Chain A
Amino acid sequence: MPKNMRRGTVVAVLASLMATTAYAEGTTLWLVRPLYPGQEALVERTEKALDKLMPGDARKEAVIGVKELAASMKGIKNDELPCFTGDSRCVDPIDPFVATLGFDRVVLVQGGQDEVGVKFRVASYEPKTGKTAAATSTNAVLEKALLGAVAKVVPVASTLEVKSAPVGATVFVDDVKVGVTPLTTQVLPGERVVRVDLKLHQPIEESIIIPIRGTATLDKKLEKVAARIVITAAPTGTNISIDGHVLGKDKVDRGILPGTHTIRLVAENHRDYEQQITVKAEEQFVLDKTLEPIPGLAHGVAKDGTLVFDRPAAVAATGVEAIYERKAYFQAAYEFSSILGNSLVGRRWGNNGTGRTTSFAASTPSRMLMGVGAEYGTFGRYFGLTVVGVSYLTNVERLSMNVGFGPGQGRELSAGNPGPTSIDPVRVHLVTIRAIQPQVRFCFWKVMLSIQAGLEFRTGQIQGPADTFYKDGFMPLDLLASARLNARFFAYDGLYFYGSGNFTYLITGQAATDESGASYASRNQWGFNVGVGYAF
């Protein structure tokens, strides 16, 4: 090797070595060791990678590995050593010793491979100053990991020259715009993706290895195209087809004949996209499209921007699948109800009395109640749960009431006088609360039918006129079993209208006895609701 010959002849004695280093200024010694035991093979690979990354002049100024070091040290005589002259105080002669060997810089590399990739730890040491710096890098690709660490501690800026015909093309390095041709720029060494892009010309994209402290040149003639399309699609892996031919994934940038063409984008778990385009001569068509994800595995086809699904039209056109992905709902209703019988029993509180009961009779047989309600629950395509629902009802028609006894009690007294046995009219305020009621659902198109069942608690107040003897009224306290049949129709997004029919069965509640000894209890109830809700 020429450099070895230079070294061997010039460095006869150390004094001359110190005066005239065998290498030109800037000679770097690269030494490699395995980072982990048993990975000695990586040393050779690393040395080869360094050799590959340092072509030309940079390579001439580098000594890579122990073998090259040995070859470069042939003929060196060490008649005198730093510290062994006794001329001056000296405790660490390593720096001057290495400097006299002609190395401006020593780069110590330790490399190892683990489950993450290839890891390099690189230390740069300058014998003339004793300065050291270390850096670490990991990458799946050996060269990239090596350069990643080296570039942090060794001045390795390299030059990239890009020329094109015609000139004026935009140059991207690793997708970063760096200028227009003709271009000379400084870049970090390593594998770089260089793209040269000029309107109405076929773009060029190449991966090139940029050497350490070297120069890489890319000189390309760009071919003119009649028209050009640039399609960028997401998500990653989207197949791009033009006129039925798959041209690539994610990005297609190519020339195209003027005329009408059909673009189709397909990605798993996303709605397909199709568009017809008309490209004129000397025009460039650009499309940047992100496909819309859909639940499940359904694929749709879009034509001219309008989605047409290959599932049954009624389902696909509304995006109904998305409706049933919702997690909760809230609804409000106008409620109608009727008591199936003539008695609603309440008890008395206060007025020094113990419990009292009453029964009442409607002046009309319907005993119609009306009110409002609200419900919150969890959503699902097949199952759901009423977390909590509340209804308020009051009587529409005039109701009267008979006052009786509680079991084992007499009628309430005031100053020794019993209260009246009849009140007319009375106002009924009923509140029912239901909670944790499971729902079973059946869905088609935008319609959801469901059955729910569970327990309800009913309470409220039955009041007479303001001047009645029983000022605080009577309070029902009933536990009911209820069943509801619901129908929901989703009008827009999560918004729905619904109707519901219900039946409540008295399990237990207040009991009352009149003076004749007849016994009364609250009655069952039925009703229906209409309202609106929102699933979210």
Chain B
Amino acid sequence: MRSERSVLLMAFVLSLSAWAEPLVGPNVGSADTLVSEGSKLFNQKKYAKSSDNFLKATRANPANLATYVQLARAASLAKQLTRACYAYRVYLKNTPDSPERKKAAAESEQCERQLKTTKGQAPDLTQKYVETRAAFFAALEKGELLKAGGAAESLRTLVNDGFLGPELGEMASKLGAAVLAEADGIQKRALAAEKQSSEVLRSARPMYEVAADVGASPPDAKARMAFLDGLAELSEKDYRKAERLFSEARKADPLNKEYAFYEGLTLYQAGEKGKALKLLDVEMKDDPRTAVLRVAQALGNSPETGAAELEKLLFSTRYPAEK
């Protein structure tokens, strides 16, 4: 379990980077669309914009090597020679056997020559890429996922610095798996009603966000984040916020009835028992917890209705069916 200090620091760092765009994977955009758009701009001789589209395409799908050549050509014509030559190198390194290779190699040589003779180009960050990659893997190894200098930050630095290559996809995948494992552990413990501090509960949200940034987000991530934040609010007895968050979770994942139950539980603890029963009657009518709440509510109304409800409950749940 992390110390509270490290969790706070992690939360701080992540809050700074929360504005960032998705890094790798489908959340960046559709690779095919980006390539198509880039090609269109290329044909319109809008090489700088075309280069940006191809760059995004390599992040949306780092495994598609053809995009790197397209990026190199667009960047070359946009006079972004550092980016162009780097893209050629990445392509050539990862494409040993391709009919396009010879042509690309020739273009790469020409690019390198131009780069040497042209002034005012961006510096070559290859060495920095090496160092940042090493930092990424070291942090991943230590489990330092979200803290300053951690794996998530390293990957973000690499992307922001223009790092290219299929390896980017693998790094994103590893980071995504690591943060998901961490966040899912919190979610699992929460569903098992294990005690977790509100800080820990809240730490799951940035993890799910990083997972989303690297294309590893589960389909119900939104519900999970709302649920865990709701639990944090419930533990701090902020029933209004908790109810809103549980409601958000319930609507985001209607199949998980625990979200509905916790919404009802929040209402019950907030003293709105009637509202709680109404909600649970709609969402999980046959659940034993709803049945018990129904009896308790009836008992609160009058002993007679309470007794009648209890009788119904016992015969319906504790009277074995005849064989």
Contacts and interface: CB of A to CB of B under 8 A. Distances in A.
Contacts of A101: 310
B296 interface: yes
Contacts of A76: 299, 303, 306
Contact of A66 (B295, B299, B307, B318): B307
Nearest to A97: B292
A136 to B, nearest CB: 8
Interface in A79-122: 81-84, 86-94, 97-98, 101, 106, 108, 110, 121
Interface string A67-81: 101110110111001
B273 to A, nearest CB: 9
Interface in B302-322: 302-304, 306-308, 310-311, 313-315, 317-320, 322
A93 B75 CA distance: 66
Interface of A: 31, 33, 66-67, 69-71, 73-74, 76-78, 81-84, 86-94, 97-98, 101, 106, 108, 110, 121, 123, 125, 132, 134, 136
- In order of increasing CB-CB distance, the 4 nearest A-B pairs are A70-B307, A78-B296, A89-B193, A69-B307
Interface in B270-303: 288-289, 291-293, 295-296, 299-300, 302-303
Given A73-B303, A108-B315, A123-B320, A82 B292 contact: yes
A69 B318 contact: no
Contact of B318 (A83, A106, A136): A106
B137 interface: no
Contact of B289 (A33, A67, A91, A110): A91
A84 B310 contact: no
A88 B191 CA distance: 10
Contacts of B129: none
Contacts of B320: 123, 132, 134
A71 B192 contact: no
Contact of A94 (B192, B302, B313): B313
B317 to A, nearest CB: 6
Contacts of A70: 302-304, 306-308
Interface residues of B, number: 34
Given A83-B289, A93-B289, 19 more contacts: A70-B302, A70-B304, A81-B296, A83-B265, A87-B193, A89-B191, A91-B288, A93-B288, A93-B292, A94-B292, A94-B313, A97-B292, A101-B310, A110-B319, A123-B319, A125-B318, A132-B318, A132-B320, A134-B320
Contacts, number: 97
Contacts of B193: 86-90
Contacts of A87: 193
**Secondary structure at chain B's binding surface: helix, strand, loop or mixed?**
helix
A87 B193 CA distance: 7
27 contacts: A33-B311, A66-B311, A70-B302, A70-B308, A73-B306, A73-B310, A76-B299, A77-B300, A78-B299, A78-B300, A83-B292, A84-B268, A84-B289, A87-B193, A88-B193, A89-B191, A89-B193, A91-B289, A92-B289, A94-B288, A94-B291, A94-B317, A98-B310, A110-B319, A123-B319, A125-B319, A132-B318
A196 B31 CA distance: 100
A76 B303 CA distance: 8
Contacts of B43: none
A78 B276 CA distance: 14
Interface of B: 191-194, 234, 262, 265, 268-269, 288-289, 291-293, 295-296, 299-300, 302-304, 306-308, 310-311, 313-315, 317-320, 322
Max chain A CB contacts within 10 Å: which of B191, B234, B289, B300? Answer: B289
Given A69-B310, A97-B295, A31 B234 contact: no
A94 B308 CA distance: 15
A471 to B, nearest CB: 84
Contacts of B299: 73, 76, 78
Nearest to A63: B307
B87 to A, nearest CB: 53
Contact of A125 (B311, B314, B322): B314
A31 B310 CA distance: 10
A323 B295 CA distance: 79
A33 B315 contact: yes
Contacts of B293: 81, 84
B318 A73 contact: no
A86 B269 contact: yes
A74 B292 contact: no
Contacts of B300: 77-78
B303 to A, nearest CB: 4
A89 B192 contact: yes
Contacts of B303: 70-71, 73-74, 76
A108 to B, nearest CB: 5
Contacts of A110: 319
B318 A94 contact: yes
Contacts of A132: 318, 320
Contacts of B265: 83-84, 86
A136 B303 CA distance: 31
B311 A31 contact: yes
A136 B322 CA distance: 10
Contacts of B317: 94
Given A66-B308, A90-B289, A98 B314 contact: yes
